[in-house]
Amino acid sequence: MPIPKKTGLSRLTSSINHSWAGIVNAIFTEDAFRQLVVINIMLLIITFCLDITKTERVLLIMCSFMTLAVELINTAIETVVDRISLEIHPLSKRAKDLGGSAQLVTIVMTVIIWLVVLF
């Protein structure tokens, strides 16, 4: 018998609660996510202290959120791979390396955008 699906406002609130639980879990269990949160809080504060255009400010803020989102996706990939098997396998390594590479690309993008905006 299939599980009845939530609809409407109930579905929305349930989805938000599950998403928030994921963020809280990442904060308490993932060093890399915690470090990014601290760094991005500092960058956001700096963003509002800079004399830049609104467009530049939005771009810098978007970079901060992008690094956090990609880190959450990377963590999800690593969690699923570990759930399947803790055995060392070339495809598991590839999946984890690709997730980490996505994060590296996002961080490099953020550094470049900050440098362009500041200089």
Give the residue among 118, 82, 76 at the shortest CA–CA distance from 99: 76
Distance CA 30, CA 118 (A): 31
Residues tagged in the binding site annotation: 11, 30, 57, 71, 78, 87-89, 96-97
Burial class (CB in 10 A: 0-12, 13-18, 19+), 67: buried
Write out the binding residues for a divalent metal cation: 30, 78
Cβ atoms of 114 and 47 closer than 8 Å: no
- Among this protein's residues, is 71 annotated catalytic? yes
Choose the catalytic residue: 47, 60, 63, 71.
71
- The amino acid at 13: T
Residues within the annotated binding site for substrate?
11, 57, 71
Which residues sit in the known binding site for ATP?
11, 30, 78, 87-89, 96-97
Q: Decide if 33 contacts 71 (C-beta within 8 A).
A: yes
Residues designated as active site? 71
